[in-house]
């Protein structure tokens, strides 16, 4: 089998063209592909549509996030379940670019966001869900009653690229996530034409993973890069360590 | 993602009351404790960011409650102290929580399959407003561009029950329990129980029925601070 392993993050993102739709995995720190985001910022592709749970946190010091690509002038549109902070008094780095109209955003309920990518990866073009019925998000959109209950039509969300972070991988691209690192990552891998993975442990030879333990089949994975030790590689750090 | 659960905030005194004096109302933990008393043995419970997460601190005796977090964590324990955390393990608020012996993790689609298929017995959420008609609003404040929905709309539309925790009035003293929401709603007609610093209330369609008043609160005081009819 042809190796999916790349020697650097820069090489793994080098061919990403302007205008790409990129899913960025992670929920809080776990699963967030910090190194790939940083490499994309350095690569400089523009006019991107970025899909993620959030645009990134309000806290300092910052980690690489969607907002850091927005600040770098690379993003045309964001699709996320949060386009504002959960606490109204927190101001996100993303907010001023959104309010000024420099970047567009589509706000999507989190379960719908996940299912839209799962559907794209599963060859399903659209589905109905009870989520958001009767809200501002459903205004002017198609609904239909099933078993007497009103449901909202949602469309699949296919991606050009997915950036995810996994704990283990073998050379075939089979992935194992650890604890809450999984979140959106397997769904984005499925939804994307090209899934690029940053891997925490050394990439194993093909066949080294227990077939019953694999969370995402290598069928859905095209590129792997091992995360180097800090400070060359970016790793999640504890809050009190970040403050230092 | 922000976590304000560690921030000490005391129950606000009713408007016009002196700042000091006998205990009036519930603090944040007491509001959470009161709602957690309603959890029944065997329930699968989703706790929202903020005050609702304090429900997991409540001593629930010998009841077995499983906490679900929308990022795919089913069955978690208390938040871990500094140095004890596992950086791969967070709850919906991004807090580093602990595992229980029967905890499992799933992906986001499976986590929301649990939610959408009606397997969550109760979701507890914060809100800006609750309507007597059972509507509530918690994703967008007035004049804001965009908002923060997270998993709230999926949970509100699909959980078996929706409980809300919020301060009874805004910082300016305006009621948060109203006939119907002025802010954009998260879901319609779903709220069955509301804990505030003034007590525990049930929306009735026309108003709010008092289930229990917090210590030191009179019916008249609460009625004056409530935007919809209060029923004894």
Q: What is the mean pLDDT of residues A149-174?
A: 98
pLDDT of residue B5: 37
Q: Report B:145-174 residues touching A (Cβ under 8 A).
A: 145-154, 157-158
> Does position A148 have pLDDT exceeding 90, yes or no?
yes
- The question of whether B70 is a catalytic residue gets the answer yes
B70 contacts A180? CB cut-off 8 A: no
Residue B73 contacts A, CB cutoff 8 Å: yes
**A83 found inside a domain:** yes
pLDDT of residue A54: 97
Cα A240 to Cα A105: distance, rounded to the nearest angstrom: 32
- Searching chain B, which residue's CA lies closest to the CA of residue A27? B71
Tokens 């209330």, residue?
B201
Question: In the numeric block, which tokens belong to residue B69?
Answer: 């977090």
Q: What is the mean pLDDT of residues A214-218?
A: 98
| A78/B3: higher pLDDT | A78
**A44 found inside a domain:** yes
B151 contacts A110? CB cut-off 8 A: yes
> Does position A91 have pLDDT exceeding 80, yes or no?
yes
pTM here is 0.94
DSSP string for residues in A6-45: -S-HHHHHTTPPTT-EEEE--SSSTT--HHHHHHHHHH--
A28 contacts B1? CB cut-off 8 A: yes
DSSP string for residues in B131-190: ETTS-EE-S--TT-SS-B-TTHHHHHHHSS-EEEE--SB-TTS-BSEESS-SSPPSBSS-
**A47 found inside a domain:** yes
**A138 found inside a domain:** no
pLDDT of residue A237: 83
In Å, what is the CA distance from A15 to each residue of A12, A190, B86, B130, B174? 8, 20, 35, 50, 55
Cross-chain CB nearest to A81 (options B50, B115, B150): B150
DSSP A219: G
**A205 found inside a domain:** yes
User: What is the domain extent for residue A73?
Assistant: 9-129+157-243
Q: Burial level of A31, CB count in 10 A (0-12/13-18/19+)? A: buried
- Contact predicate B127/B175, CB 8 Å: no
Residue A223: CATH number of its domain: 3.40.1080.10
Asked, as a colleague might, if the bond just before A61 is cis with ω within 30 of 0, I would say: yes
pLDDT of residue A240: 67
pLDDT of residue B7: 34
Q: What are the pLDDT digits (tens) for A12-67? A: 999 999 999 999 999 999 999 999 999 999 999 999 999 999 999 888 788 999 99
pLDDT of residue A60: 79
Which of these, B127, B107, B130, lies nearest to B191 by C-alpha position? B130
pLDDT of residue B15: 44
User: What strands, in cross-sheet order, belong to the sheet with B122-126?
Assistant: B97-105, B73-79, B66-69, B44-47, B122-126, B162-165, B191-196, B199-203, B208-213, B230-231
Q: How many structural domains compose chain A? A: 1
Q: Report A:97-156 residues touching B (Cβ under 8 A).
A: 98-99, 105, 107-112, 114-115, 118, 129-137
pLDDT of residue B78: 86
**A231 found inside a domain:** yes
**A140 found inside a domain:** no
Instruction: Map out the domains of chain B with their CATH numbers.
Output: 28-231 (3.40.1080.10)
Cα A42 to Cα B179: distance, rounded to the nearest angstrom: 53
**A4 found inside a domain:** no
- The string over A146-172, giving b where at least 16 C-beta atoms fall within 10 Å of a residue's C-beta and e elsewhere, is eeeeebbebebbbbbbbbbbbbbbbbb
List the pLDDT tens digit at each of the 232 positions of chain B.
333 333 333 334 444 444 566 789 999 999 999 999 999 999 999 999 889 989 988 888 999 999 999 999 999 988 888 889 999 999 998 999 999 999 999 999 999 999 999 999 999 999 999 999 999 999 999 888 999 999 999 999 999 999 999 999 999 999 999 999 999 999 999 999 999 999 999 999 999 999 999 999 999 999 999 999 999 8
Cα A35 to Cα A200: distance, rounded to the nearest angstrom: 11
Handedness of CA B103, B108, B110, B112 (dihedral sign): positive
Which of these, B4, B190, B158, lies nearest to B70 by C-alpha position? B158
């Amino acid at each position: 089998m042809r190796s999916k392993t790349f020697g650097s993050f820069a090489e793994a993102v080098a061919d990403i063209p302007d205008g790409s739709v990129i899913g960025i995995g992670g929920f809080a720190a776990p699963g967030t592909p910090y190194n790939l985001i940083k490499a994309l910022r350095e690569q400089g592709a523009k006019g991107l549509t970025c899909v993620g749970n959030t645009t990134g946190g309000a806290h300092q010091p910052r980690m690489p996030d969607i907002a850091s690509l927005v600040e770098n002038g690379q993003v045309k549109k964001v699709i996320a379940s949060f386009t504002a902070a959960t606490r109204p008094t927190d101001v996100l780095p993303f907010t001023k670019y959104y309010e000024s109209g420099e970047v567009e955003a589509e706000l999507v309920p989190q379960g719908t966001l996940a299912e839209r990518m799962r559907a794209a990866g599963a060859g399903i073009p659209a589905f109905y869900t009870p989520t958001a019925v009767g809200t501002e998000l459903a205004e002017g959109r198609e609904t239909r009653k099933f078993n007497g209950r009103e449901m909202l039509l949602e469309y699949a969300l296919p991606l050009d690229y997915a950036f995810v972070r996994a704990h283990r991988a073998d050379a075939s691209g089979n992935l194992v996530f650890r604890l809450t690192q999984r979140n959106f990552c397997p769904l984005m891998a499925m939804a994307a034409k090209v899934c690029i993975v940053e891997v925490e442990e050394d990439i194993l030879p093909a066949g080294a993973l227990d077939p019953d333990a694999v969370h995402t089949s290598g069928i859905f994975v095209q590129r792997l890069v091992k995360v180097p030790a800090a400070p060359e590689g970016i790793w999640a750090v504890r809050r009190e360590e970040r403050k230092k | 993602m922000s976590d304000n659960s560690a921030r000490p905030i005391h129950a606000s005194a009713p408007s016009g009351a002196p700042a000091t004096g006998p205990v009036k109302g519930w603090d944040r933990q007491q509001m959470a404790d009161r709602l957690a008393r309603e959890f029944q043995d065997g329930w699968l419970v989703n706790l929202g960011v903020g005050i609702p997460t304090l429900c997991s601190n409540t001593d629930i005796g010998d009841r077995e409650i499983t906490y679900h977090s929308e990022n795919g964590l089913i069955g978690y324990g208390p938040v871990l102290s500094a140095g004890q955390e596992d950086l791969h393990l967070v709850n919906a608020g991004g807090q580093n929580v602990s595992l229980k012996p029967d905890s499992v993790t799933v992906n986001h689609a499976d986590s929301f399959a649990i939610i959408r298929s009606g397997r969550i017995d109760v979701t507890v959420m914060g809100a800006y407003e609750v309507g007597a008609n059972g509507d509530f609003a918690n994703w967008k404040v007035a004049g804001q561009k965009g908002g923060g929905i997270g998993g709230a709309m999926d949970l509100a539309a699909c959980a078996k029950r929706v409980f809300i925790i919020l301060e009874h009035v805004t910082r300016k003293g305006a009621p948060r329990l109203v006939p119907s929401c002025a802010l954009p709603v998260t879901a319609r007609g779903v709220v069955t129980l509301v804990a505030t610093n003034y007590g525990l209330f049930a929306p009735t369609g026309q108003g709010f029925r008092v289930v229990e008043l917090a210590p030191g609160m009179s019916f008249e005081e609460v009625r004056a601070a409530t935007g919809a009819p209060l029923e004894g």
